[in-house]
Amino acid sequence: MITVVIADRLGKGQNVAKGVEAAGGRAVVVPGMGADMRLGDVMQQENADMGISFCGSGGAGALTAATKYGYPERHGMRSVEEGVTAIEEGKTVLGFGFMDQEELGKRLTAAYIKKYGDQ
SS3 letters across the chain: CCEEEEEECCCCCHHHHHHHHHCCCEEEECCCCCHHHHHHHHHHHHCCCEEEEECCCCCHHHHHHHHHHCCCEEEEECCHHHHHHHHHCCCCEEEECCCCCHHHHHHHHHHHHHHHCCC
Confidence at 57, pLDDT banded by 50, 70, 90:
confident
Note the pLDDT of residue 76: 95
Domains of the chain by start residue, with CATH: 3-116 (3.40.1400.10)
The stretch 58-81 carries a mean pLDDT of 95
Question: pLDDT by residue (tens digit) across 5-34?
Answer: 999 999 899 999 999 999 999 999 999 999
- In the predicted model, what is the mean pLDDT of the chain? 95
The more confidently predicted of residues 56 and 89 is: 89
The stretch 99-118 carries a mean pLDDT of 95
